[in-house]
């Protein structure tokens, strides 16, 4: 049955399927049977008390409205896709809760701030990169023989040997013209320089665009560049880039052309020709799917020629975890890289990569992406292939990450979530009170029917719900400061018992039940009594539980976990439950 929803959920999200206590895939016969059963339970003529009769009329009207919507295939399809707002758009009279002037003003100001932030972000599109190179070779390659007499030489020296900072913003001029201003600063071993670039981009048509680039720096002279992009066919495009770099030694021209083609839905092929200071011909094949990313590349050039293969696996979890590995071999040597990255917050992704190569040695690269900003920290550990360096480069980031995740990240995210939930509850206090009153009224209306159900179940030695609790259970040892948010739902659950069986469909609410911590995951703890004794299933996710007597000769209490698709059978509390998978 339907629930009195919590205040954290808008009235627009009222679940008609939960109101009738049926599956979303329920047939018309199932809808009709559920509607008739609930009408018999909540019909106003069954109550003489004026207050109970008024409350029964409200619930009866809700049931009638839900059945009218779901019994019509057209309105049911609209409701499944758009919800009650979709019905409102089609002309159905769905009345929403009236907001107070303060709530309307607060909501308008919030939406206006978000709109301005999105507009500024889209118009400027800021991008930035900060790279800090760290030399930590003294941890593994110490020259103790040369510096034995130097005071203070007992501690290894870790120093920053290079830094790079770049930033760019966009400024739309017209509907087709955009100016891009970019700058960068670099320093290495005490020597550095920088440059500033201005790029004008024009979209010529739906098939192409062009860029004119002007730049200048303190180490190099003026730079003039031209870049053109063009779609040749719906599956093929080409990009060309030419540049002239002026310096004290003369003019250094450069040219790059890239031809790309969609080989299939998930595969791209690239052919690149680069002429200038480092001339090369490069071809690569990239396959990107929902669960993996694979790249193979081959390059012939001066001074570098190489073959590269890389693979990245994408886990389909909430944190968007990815593990990757690559092998690159060429005239410069061989490099093996492996690493992982994970989403640590809504806009932040943290990754670490270990690079092992000859003659490069061992390096650890840590990268943090925060929205459009990138922070990169390459740490050079040793010039040699030392097992100890490889071990610490691999295990160190894992230990630090799990420690930070346990001690800093997880408590911070939990505190933020609690603040958001508390703010939602405060903003919808009036709705919570209204739903609570509806739930209490529904429980009062159920009392007579529950009494008859209990008498019938006792006569047939069937199923009786001894106690049932619903809400957010808290472990006293681990989360002592958190409030317990559970309510007694014994009466609503007993009202659902039919033929000594209790089945909860995939719904989030029950009539007579007010959610206490939505949108957090709700759990229920249920104990039932049959002629064999008292049976307890423990805690399970809401809407995933059903139990009743088994079909064997000896009637036992049968628990069916719809969420994990397991049967649980038990005779009395304290005995081990036996389970078998469907």
Question: How does pLDDT run across 144-161, given as a tens digit for each residue?
Answer: 555 555 555 567 888 999
User: DSSP state, 345?
Assistant: S
Rounded-to-integer distance, Cα 491 and Cα 504, Å: 14
Cβ atoms 483, 437 nearer than 8 A: no
Rounded-to-integer distance, Cα 2 and Cα 209, Å: 56
What's the whole-number mean pLDDT along residues 512-522? 45
Q: Burial, 239: exposed, middle or buried (Cβ in 10 Å; 0-12, 13-18, 19+)? A: middle
Cβ atoms 261, 280 nearer than 8 A: no
Banded model confidence at residue 99, pLDDT cuts 50, 70, 90: low
Which residues face 225 on adjacent strands? 213, 243
CA distances from 339 to 55, 307, 388, 394 (A): 61, 20, 17, 8
Nearest to 59 by CA among 43, 48, 46, 47: 43
206-255: per-residue pLDDT in tens? 899 999 999 998 877 899 999 999 999 999 999 999 999 888 788 889 99
Residue 197 predicted with pLDDT over 90: yes
**Amino acid 178: pLDDT:** 92
Residue 475, classed as helix, strand or coil, is coil
Over the chain, what is the mean pLDDT? Answer: 77
286-328: per-residue pLDDT in tens? 999 999 999 999 999 988 899 999 999 999 888 889 999 999 9
Instruction: Provide, rounded to the nearest whole percent, the portion of the chain with pLDDT above 90.
Output: 34
Nearest to 269 by CA among 220, 240, 235: 235
> In order of start, what are the domains of the chain with their CATH numbers?
11-94+428-581 (1.10.287.110)
Banded model confidence at residue 89, pLDDT cuts 50, 70, 90: low
Residue 500 predicted with pLDDT over 90: no
Token couple for 311: 């693979």
**Amino acid 14: pLDDT:** 65
- Confidence (pTM): 0.60
Residue 479 predicted with pLDDT over 70: no
Phi and psi at residue 434, to the nearest 5°: -65, -45
41 vs 243, more confident: 243
Residue 532 predicted with pLDDT over 50: no
**Amino acid 400: pLDDT:** 92
Rounded-to-integer distance, Cα 172 and Cα 385, Å: 50
Is the four-CA dihedral 416, 421, 427, 429 of positive or negative sign? Answer: negative
What's the whole-number mean pLDDT along residues 451-457? 83
Give residues with Cβ within 8 angstroms of 2, minimum separation 6. Answer: 14, 15, 16, 18, 19, 20, 21, 62, 66, 507, 509, 510, 511
Phi and psi at residue 22, to the nearest 5°: -130, 165
Give residues with Cβ within 8 angstroms of 201, minimum separation 6. Answer: 177, 178, 179, 180, 209, 210, 211
**Amino acid 93: pLDDT:** 41
**Amino acid 359: pLDDT:** 87
Cis peptide bond prior to 359, omega within 30° of 0: yes
Residue 274 predicted with pLDDT over 80: yes
**CB atoms closer than 10 angstroms to residue 149:** 6
Q: Where are the beta strands (DSSP E) in 189-291?
A: 191-205, 208-217, 223-233, 236-247, 250-262, 267-275, 280-288
Rounded-to-integer distance, Cα 460 and Cα 520, Å: 39
**What angle (nearest 5°) sits at the alpha carbon of residue 531, between those of residues 530 and 536?**
35
Token couple for 445: 């209306």
**Amino acid 515: pLDDT:** 43
Token couple for 12: 């627009």
Best mean pLDDT range from 208-217, 312-321, 492-501, 507-516 = 208-217
Best mean pLDDT range from 97-106, 386-395, 456-465 = 386-395
What's the whole-number mean pLDDT along residues 88-109? 56
**Amino acid 474: pLDDT:** 55
CA distances from 74 to 36, 65, 86, 90, 419 (A): 22, 15, 12, 11, 41
Banded model confidence at residue 87, pLDDT cuts 50, 70, 90: low
What's the whole-number mean pLDDT along residues 435-450? 78
Residue 391 predicted with pLDDT over 50: yes
457-478: per-residue pLDDT in tens? 888 877 787 777 776 655 555 4
**Amino acid 482: pLDDT:** 53
91 vs 457, more confident: 457
339 vs 450, more confident: 339
The pairing of beta strand 373-382 with beta strand 250-262 = unpaired
User: DSSP state, 514?
Assistant: B
What's the whole-number mean pLDDT along residues 350-354? 95
What's the whole-number mean pLDDT along residues 525-534? 48
Sheet hosting strand 566-570, strand order edge to edge? 502-503, 545-549, 557-561, 566-570, 578-581
**Amino acid 520: pLDDT:** 47
Cβ atoms 417, 346 nearer than 8 A: no
**Amino acid 310: pLDDT:** 97
**Amino acid 143: pLDDT:** 60
Rounded-to-integer distance, Cα 512 and Cα 437, Å: 9
């Amino acid at each position: 049955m339907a629930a009195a929803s919590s205040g954290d959920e808008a009235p627009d999200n009222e679940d008609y399927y939960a109101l009738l206590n049926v599956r979303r895939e329920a047939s018309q016969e199932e809808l009709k049977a559920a509607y008739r059963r609930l009408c018999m339970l909540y019909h106003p003529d069954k109550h003489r008390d004026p207050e109970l009769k008024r409350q029964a009329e409200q619930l009866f009207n809700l049931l009638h409205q839900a059945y009218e919507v779901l019994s019509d295939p057209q309105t049911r399809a609209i409701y499944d896709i758009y919800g009650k707002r979709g019905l409102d758009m089609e002309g159905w009279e769905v009345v929403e809760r009236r907001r107070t002037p303060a709530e309307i003003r607060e909501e308008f100001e919030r939406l206006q701030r978000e709109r301005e932030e999105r507009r500024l972000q889209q118009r400027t599109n800021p991008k930035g990169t900060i790279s800090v190179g760290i030399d930590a070779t003294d941890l593994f390659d110490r020259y103790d023989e040369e510096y034995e007499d130097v005071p203070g030489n007992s501690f290894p020296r870790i120093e920053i040997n290079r830094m790079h900072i770049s930033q760019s913003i966009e400024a739309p001029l017209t509907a087709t013209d955009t100016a891009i201003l970019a700058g960068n600063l670099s320093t290495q071993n005490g020597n550095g320089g920088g440059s500033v670039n201005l790029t004008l981009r024009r979209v010529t048509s739906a098939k192409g665009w062009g860029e004119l680039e002007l730049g200048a720096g303190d180490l190099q002279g003026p730079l003039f560049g031209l870049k053109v992009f063009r779609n040749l066919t719906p599956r093929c495009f080409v990009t060309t880039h030419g540049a002239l770099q002026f310096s004290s030694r003369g003019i250094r021209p450069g040219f790059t052309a890239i031809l790309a083609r969609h080989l299939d839905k998930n595969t791209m092929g690239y052919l690149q020709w680069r002429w200038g200071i480092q001339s090369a011909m490069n071809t690569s094949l990239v396959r990107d799917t929902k669960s993996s990313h694979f790249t193979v590349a081959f390059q012939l050039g001066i001074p570098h020629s190489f073959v590269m293969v890389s693979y990245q696996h994408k886990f389909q979890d909430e944190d968007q975890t990815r593990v990757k590995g690559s092998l690159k071999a060429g005239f410069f040597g061989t490099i093996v890289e492996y690493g992982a990255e994970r989403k640590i917050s809504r806009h932040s992704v943290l990754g670490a990569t270990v690079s092992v190569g000859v003659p490069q040695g061992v390096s650890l690269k840590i990268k943090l992406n925060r929205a459009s900003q990138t922070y990169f920290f390459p740490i050079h550990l040793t010039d040699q292939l030392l097992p100890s360096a490889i071990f610490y480069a691999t295990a160190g980031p894992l230990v630090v990450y799990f420690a930070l995740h346990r001690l800093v990240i997880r408590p911070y995210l939990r505190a933020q979530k609690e603040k958001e939930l508390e703010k939602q509850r405060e903003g919808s206090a009036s709705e919570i009170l209204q739903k609570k009153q509806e739930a209490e009224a529904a429980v009062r209306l159920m009392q007579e029917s529950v009494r008859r159900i209990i008498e019938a179940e006792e006569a047939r030695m069937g199923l009786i719900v001894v106690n049932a609790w619903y809400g957010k259970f808290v472990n006293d040892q681990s989360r002592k400061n958190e409030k317990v948010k559970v309510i007694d739902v014994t009466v609503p659950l007993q009202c659902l018992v039919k033929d000594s069986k209790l089945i909860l469909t995939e719904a989030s609410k029950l009539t007579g039940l007010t959610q206490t911590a939505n949108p957090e995951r709700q759990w229920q703890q249920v104990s039932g009594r049959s002629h064999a004794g008292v049976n307890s299933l423990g805690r399970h996710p809401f809407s995933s539980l059903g139990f009743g007597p088994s079909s064997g000769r000896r009637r036992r209490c049968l628990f069916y976990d719809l969420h994990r698709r397991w049967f649980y059978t038990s005779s009395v509390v304290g005995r081990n439950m036996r389970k078998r998978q469907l």
